[in-house]
Amino acid sequence: MNLFLRSETKAQRFEDCYPQGNGIIGIMDNCGAISNSIVLNDEGMWSGNKTTKTPKKCGKEGLEEIRDALNKKDFSRAEELVKEKISGRECESYIPVGELTIDKGWGSYRKYERVLDLETSVLSSSYVLADKEYKEESFVSNPSNVFVKKITCSQKSLFRIRFLSTHPTTIQYKEKLLTVIGRAPSHIVYYGLPSKKPIQYDKDEPGQAFALAIRIDTDASQIYHSSGTLRIADATYMTIYYSSMTEIGLSNTESLKTLTNNIVNATSNKSIETELIDRVSKNVDMAYEKGYLGCLKEHIDDYTRLFSRTSFQINQVTKSPSNLNFALKKRDQDDSLIVTLYAFSRYLLISSSRENSALPANLQGIWSRARRPMWSSGYTMNINLQMNYWPVMSANLSECALPFFKFVKNLMYSGMKNSKEIFEMNGFFLGHNSDSSFHSSPVGGETKYSSASYSLSMATSGWLVNQMFDIYSFSKDQELLEQSILPVAEQAILFYLDYLYENEKGELCSGPDISPENSYLFNGNKYSIDEAPAMTLAVIRELFENYLEYGKDNNLLKIVKETRGKIQGYRVCEDGRIAEWSSDLKEADINHRHLSHLYGLYPGKEILENGDLKRASLKTLEARGDGGTGWSLAWKICLYARLGLGDKANELLKKQFRPTYAKRGQRGGSYFSLLSAHPPFQIDGNFGTLAGINEILLQALSEKGINAIPSDWKSGKVTGLRTRENKHVDIEWRDGEIINTKIKNL
């Protein structure tokens, strides 16, 4: 075992747990010696019911009124009108199923360690408690869709297992099988909004149903059950087989079809509750029949099929630090930390997004403890969802991209409906937030205190489609292009063709719009709404270019070709930086975490073809500073890497290892699990950093050659990296020279 996370203490915080998952079930086990606290997540566990959130109806007249205010530079009025006519309800929240505790005794313990083996995706811990030697081992199997945990003890012991949940549940137990059926909240008020009753359970319009089952295998002499608590007496071993499922998991399809409260489908007479219980019970029973070793082998075979495709080392370092906590505090093993973070981020992608996942990885992957999580632990689509999937192809994990494609396709259906209702336009558009119900309309309308900088995000649909095109550029999968990408791209284009309008210079603009989450200063006040933010126009230009390259030869292609050249281009300010807005407006925060106006450099590619814009991009990037949240640092790593500035990218990469203690803030770093910190925990920082390291390595194949590699990386090797044009590449370098490159066509 070379790649692992190891600690000699239990996890003190939720974020310090070593996450486990199979793309559906998420587990956070603190591995306590006296008592385990295991947070149970399921990718489909979201608040919300089937009540339709009716969007506002701005219409074309309302749009003209807003644009007239923008033209007159009456930005205050423009923002008032956007809130009045466009901004709507917030999204629902991703929440835990509950918590499982396992009590094993009391008193002091010694010889403690916990280890997550990144090469097998198996978590283990060992310790001596009350002179008894304990060993624990667990994993989450994708093929069987079960969490399996085995505890062995050198002497007969008493275990107490409790299932805890804040949701209304019904618990039953019979013959070593515990089953739970419950309902998620019908609505959770967005965490930033005041409410006397933020978590709501409506009996008439209930939230979705969920179920879980726990099958026990043990040599215990007796098992006692009372109100969801199991007491397992005189046991030397105990194995737990756990499975969960929600209505979303039950209806894992590519359409917007939803289940009713009473039936699963047209051919089934079972209630949803009965169907869910049957499914999870079958999962744990089948796992029990396979046995612990059978499930373990099946799990390792499945996981290593993906994980083993790629390897990475620098300065002949191939092994993780022996104690992760010490390594993060002392910072004397940075090469080892970089190699480990690379492996861990690939592990997280495999664990949170699989080909059979119903939904893509959200802000926290599939791991969340809060009942009312920050930003709903949802899908923020002005950078964060996209960043989750930046590395999926270069990291050679194409299967993990499939939930992203399904999600965008479903967003298209929802967005087509809203573009008609809100703007009376064709195609589809999206706001910047979404959830499990494919929410597509802009948020920010539920309180007068909501910032306009979080409302509109007219680039969203185009950005998501461009990412689909980028994934295609790696695989060259023609079926994927024709069935999953082009139909969505065409609907995005139809909306932009309706929405874009000419300014006084005859240039096409995208207002009202924002540069995500940033604000500018005008006459001493802060505003966000603009007529032509640089990012949105860059996204649309790239979308049109992608369609011109890959689209069908039809009338739409001709219109796109005619329109492409009319879209307003980049502007460079007097100080040499790329302008973020349509005029020389000063940003309210020059060090803002978003780098939206550099979209065309990364993840886009338009700026790479223009030397003047590359120089302006570098000046813009330098002015933004070297601080930021975990995901912002990751974006900067990617940007510097694409410019071939490996040393600067590496400098920012090392900042990702700053230990995080704060609950909130703008100073990125890592928890003692290597999970990325905004703070709070956001998984996009892990995935963006993985993409950045891969970008450094891929730039070594360009004309920059070895100069793209950080000078601190005196030697190194990467195998199994995937490049565009459907190729695998191995790269090896030493002492300032690339000594071996192998490129294989797939």
pLDDT digits (tens, 9 = 90+) for 226-245: 988 999 999 999 999 999 99
Compute the distance between CA of residue 499 and CA of residue 189 in angstroms, rounded to an integer. 31
- Determine phi and psi for 430, rounding to 5 degrees: -135, 150
For the stretch 669-706, what's the b/e string if a residue is b when 16 or more beta carbons lie within 10 angstroms of its beta carbon?
A: bbbbbbbbbbbbbbbbbbbbbbbbbbbbbbbbbeeeeb
- Decide if 14 is inside a domain: no
Does residue 255 register a pLDDT over 50? no
For 292-370, strand residue ranges (E) read: 311-314
pLDDT category at 264 given cuts 50, 70, 90 is very low
Tell me the whole-structure pTM to 2 decimals.
0.96
Q: Mean pLDDT throughout 524-539?
A: 96
74 and 197 inside one domain: no
**DSSP conformation class of 680:** S
113, two tokens: 């360690």
Compute the distance between CA of residue 582 and CA of residue 528 in angstroms, rounded to an integer. 12
Beta partners for 241? Answer: 148, 215
Q: What is the pLDDT of residue 477?
A: 95
Q: Is 435 left (phi over 0), alpha (psi -120 to 50) or beta?
A: beta
CB-CB contact of 475 with 413 (8 Å): no
Non-local (6+) Cβ contacts of 370 within 8 A are 95, 96, 377
Beta partners for 681? Answer: 677
pLDDT category at 332 given cuts 50, 70, 90 is confident
Burial class (CB in 10 A: 0-12, 13-18, 19+), 289: exposed
**DSSP conformation class of 271:** -
- Determine phi and psi for 230, rounding to 5 degrees: -110, 130
Last residue of a domain, which of 285, 308, 331? 308
Does residue 256 register a pLDDT over 50? no
Compute the distance between CA of residue 74 and CA of residue 69 in angstroms, rounded to an integer. 5
SS3 state at 636: helix
400 and 524 inside one domain: yes
Compute the distance between CA of residue 608 and CA of residue 602 in angstroms, rounded to an integer. 9
Last residue of a domain, which of 608, 625, 642? 625
Domain count, the chain: 2
Does residue 334 register a pLDDT over 90? yes
Compute the distance between CA of residue 456 and CA of residue 67 in angstroms, rounded to an integer. 14
Compute the distance between CA of residue 657 and CA of residue 627 in angstroms, rounded to an integer. 13
Compute the distance between CA of residue 658 and CA of residue 671 in angstroms, rounded to an integer. 8
Of 372, 311, 363, the closest CA to residue 340 belongs to 311
State pLDDT tens for residues 57-74.
999 999 999 999 999 999
pLDDT category at 649 given cuts 50, 70, 90 is very high
SS3 state at 474: helix
- Decide if 642 is inside a domain: no
Q: What is the pLDDT of residue 449?
A: 60
29 and 125 inside one domain: yes
- Decide if 439 is inside a domain: yes
**DSSP conformation class of 38:** E
Does residue 253 register a pLDDT over 70? no
Report how far Cα 340 is from the mean position of its chain's Cα atoms: 20
Which CATH number fits the domain that encloses residue 37? 2.70.98.50
- Decide if 636 is inside a domain: no
CB-CB contact of 254 with 409 (8 Å): yes
545 and 450 inside one domain: yes
Compute the distance between CA of residue 361 and CA of residue 368 in angstroms, rounded to an integer. 12
For the stretch 341-369, what's the b/e string if a residue is b when 16 or more beta carbons lie within 10 angstroms of its beta carbon?
A: bbbbbbbbbbbbbbeebbbbbbbbbbbbb
Name the average pLDDT for the chain.
Answer: 94
State pLDDT tens for residues 163-207.
999 999 999 999 999 999 999 999 999 988 889 999 999 999 999
Q: List the Cα angle 318/320/325 in 5-degree steps.
A: 160
pLDDT category at 252 given cuts 50, 70, 90 is confident
72 and 131 inside one domain: no
Does residue 448 register a pLDDT over 80? no
111 and 234 inside one domain: yes
Q: What is the pLDDT of residue 269?
A: 58
Q: What is the pLDDT of residue 444?
A: 86
Say which residue, 274 or 263, is predicted with more confidence.
274
Compute the distance between CA of residue 633 and CA of residue 594 in angstroms, rounded to an integer. 10
Non-local (6+) Cβ contacts of 316 within 8 A are 715
76 and 144 inside one domain: no
581 and 517 inside one domain: yes
42 and 147 inside one domain: yes
* Cβ neighbour number for residue 658 with a 10 Å cutoff: 16
Compute the distance between CA of residue 265 and CA of residue 252 in angstroms, rounded to an integer. 12
Q: What is the pLDDT of residue 266?
A: 35
Q: What is the pLDDT of residue 553?
A: 84
- Decide if 283 is inside a domain: yes
Residues in the chain: 746
Q: At what angle do helices 460-475 and 486-499 cross, to 10 degrees?
A: 150
Going by their DSSP bridges, the two strands 177-183 and 209-218 should be labelled as: antiparallel
DSSP string, 118-136: TTTTEEEEEEEETTEEEEE
Compute the distance between CA of residue 579 and CA of residue 639 in angstroms, rounded to an integer. 17
Burial class (CB in 10 A: 0-12, 13-18, 19+), 565: exposed
Last residue of a domain, which of 255, 287, 308? 308
Query: One-letter amino acid identity for 194?
Result: P
Does residue 407 register a pLDDT over 60? yes
Report how far apart, in Å, the C-alpha atoms of 648 and of each of 132, 594, 692 are. 51, 18, 12
Does residue 39 register a pLDDT over 90? yes
CB-CB contact of 487 with 427 (8 Å): no
State pLDDT tens for residues 489-518.
999 999 999 999 999 889 999 999 999 999
Report how far Cα 661 is from the mean position of its chain's Cα atoms: 22
* Cβ neighbour number for residue 625 with a 10 Å cutoff: 12
CB-CB contact of 95 with 371 (8 Å): yes
Compute the distance between CA of residue 45 and CA of residue 395 in angstroms, rounded to an integer. 28
pLDDT category at 261 given cuts 50, 70, 90 is very low
- Decide if 414 is inside a domain: yes
State pLDDT tens for residues 74-83.
999 999 999 9
165 and 143 inside one domain: yes
- Decide if 515 is inside a domain: yes
What sign has the CA pseudo-torsion 282, 285, 290, 295?
Answer: positive
* Cβ neighbour number for residue 204 with a 10 Å cutoff: 7
489 and 531 inside one domain: yes
Report how far Cα 91 is from the mean position of its chain's Cα atoms: 16
Place of tokens 């290892």: 657
**DSSP conformation class of 54:** P
Q: Is 191 left (phi over 0), alpha (psi -120 to 50) or beta?
A: alpha
401 and 281 inside one domain: no
Does residue 691 register a pLDDT over 80? yes
- Decide if 15 is inside a domain: no
State pLDDT tens for residues 267-295.
355 799 999 999 999 999 999 999 999 99
Q: What is the pLDDT of residue 657?
A: 97
Compute the distance between CA of residue 248 and CA of residue 256 in angstroms, rounded to an integer. 11
**DSSP conformation class of 315:** T
- Determine phi and psi for 239, rounding to 5 degrees: -120, 130
375, two tokens: 């930003």
Report how far Cα 31 is from the mean position of its chain's Cα atoms: 25
- Determine phi and psi for 284, rounding to 5 degrees: -75, -35
Residue span of the structural domain in which 221 resides: 20-47+94-308
Compute the distance between CA of residue 126 and CA of residue 110 in angstroms, rounded to an integer. 9
Does residue 585 register a pLDDT over 60? yes
Which CATH number fits the domain that encloses residue 588? 1.50.10.10
Q: Tell me the helices (H) and strands (E) count for the chain, helix number first.
A: 17, 29
Place of tokens 């000594």: 739
Q: What is the pLDDT of residue 267?
A: 39
SS3 state at 359: coil
Non-local (6+) Cβ contacts of 374 within 8 A are 191, 680
SS3 state at 298: helix
Q: What is the pLDDT of residue 725?
A: 86
Q: Mean pLDDT throughout 382-408?
A: 97
